[in-house]
Amino acid sequence: MKSFELVLFADYFQFYIQDEAAKGDLSQAWNEEATDRLLALAPGTVGIGTVRNMDVPVTVDFLEHAPEDEFSEWDHVVEAGLDVTSGRIVIAGCTDYFPDAKRVEVPPGVYRVRVSYGALDTLSEDGLSGDDRYRLQLWPAASTAVHILKQRLK
């Protein structure tokens, strides 16, 4: 299992994980439904919504199979599929300089991406600081459907 910690600038309240070769554009993907589930999709790209427009901590775990469904420490959990044709996944803020973004080599194929969102209610009044955190878990799987596994309270 590969695992690492990142701090990403969540400009426009988002960061993304994508196939390196993807040309997916999330600009039209952030509709009301995507905003509510904090997750938008474009071909080869998954956009992860955040509650802050600042640097956010992100943990990324690459797994051999689906993780246990233990959501007690998380406010919101959603899954989607990511088609990786290039064998390289890029993880970055949406305005990061693409050539410098974090890359991870993986076997080409379809992956499930489970995004867990924690401490979403810890934002300061000005919305600039908080203890919100984001965990991405990826494993090989054939399903590309979006599933909300735990819905946040608003």
- What is the pLDDT at residue 142? 87
Q: Take residue 64 and report the two structure tokens written for it.
A: 């051999």
pTM of the model: 0.95
Per CATH, the architecture of 2-150 is what? Sandwich (2.60)
3 pLDDT more than 90: yes
Q: Take residue 18 and report the two structure tokens written for it.
A: 């994508």
Summarize pLDDT for 16-44 with one digit per residue, the tens. 999 999 987 898 999 999 999 999 999 99
Q: Which of 33, 127, 123, 121 has its CA nearest to residue 41?
A: 33
Q: Take residue 95 and report the two structure tokens written for it.
A: 């305005």
Percent of the chain at pLDDT > 70 equals 100
- What is the pLDDT at residue 149? 96
Domain boundaries, the chain: 2-150
Which residues neighbour 15 within 8 Å (Cβ) at sequence distance 6 or greater?
8, 9, 47, 48, 50, 56, 58, 91, 92, 93, 94, 134
CB 80 within 8 A of CB 42: no
